[in-house]
Amino acid sequence: MLSTHAKERSTFVVTANFASTTGAVAPTSAYWSLTDSAGTVINSRSDVTITSPTSSEDIVLSSSDLKITTNENDEGVRTFTVEGAYNSSLGNGLPLKECTHFIIDPLIRVTS
């Protein structure tokens, strides 16, 4: 779980650092997805390709990525998953998959 919370409908950056047992590695392919705690894809963010991935990638989430849905079960917890493949001295086309969770702090609705 990331310690920093996202703010609803704002901007939030998730940094993906890729490494093998021998250190930092640039994947040969990588993609990411964003889901809620029930596994529902948020804002069509499923298998989003990271073009020419490097050993560290900043993924910018904003606006509808960080919207708390009207689903009564949406607690504002999101799962960010990155997957792909890499080559190392251990072999080629080795799979990678990792996820982290973060919380979206809701906007306070002000009425007058």
**CATH number, domain with residue 49:** 2.60.40.4070
Tell me, yes or no, whether 54 lies in a domain: yes
Q: Decide if 95 is inside a domain.
A: yes
Structural domain count, the chain: 1
Q: Is the pLDDT of residue 109 over 70?
A: no
Is 87 a domain residue? yes
Does 61 map to a domain? yes
Show the CA angle centred on residue 5, arms to residues 57 and 100, nearest 5°: 50
Window from 8-17, 19-28, 58-67 with minimum mean pLDDT: 19-28
Residue 72 has pLDDT above 80, yes or no: no
Is this model's pTM higher than 0.85 or not? yes
> Which one-letter amino acid corresponds to residue 58?
D
Per-residue model confidence (pLDDT) at position 111: 55
Q: Categorize the per-residue pLDDT at 21 as very low, low, confident or very high, splitting at 50, 70 and 90.
A: confident
* Contact between 107 and 9 (Cβ < 8 Å): yes
The band of 107, judged by pLDDT with boundaries at 50, 70 and 90, is confident
Residue numbers of the domain that contains 65: 6-105
**What pLDDT was estimated at residue 95?**
96
49: in domain: yes
Residue identified by tokens 């703010």 is 7
Q: Is 1 inside any structural domain?
A: no
Query: What is the average pLDDT score of the chain?
Result: 92
Asked if residue 112 is part of any domain, the answer here is no
Quick one: pLDDT band at residue 62, thresholds 50, 70, 90? very high
DSSP string, 56-89: EEEEEEEGGGGPPPS-TT--SEEEEEEEEEEEET
Q: Are 23 and 109 in contact (CB under 8 A)?
A: no
Residue 111 included in any domain: no
- How large is the average pLDDT for residues 24-37? 96
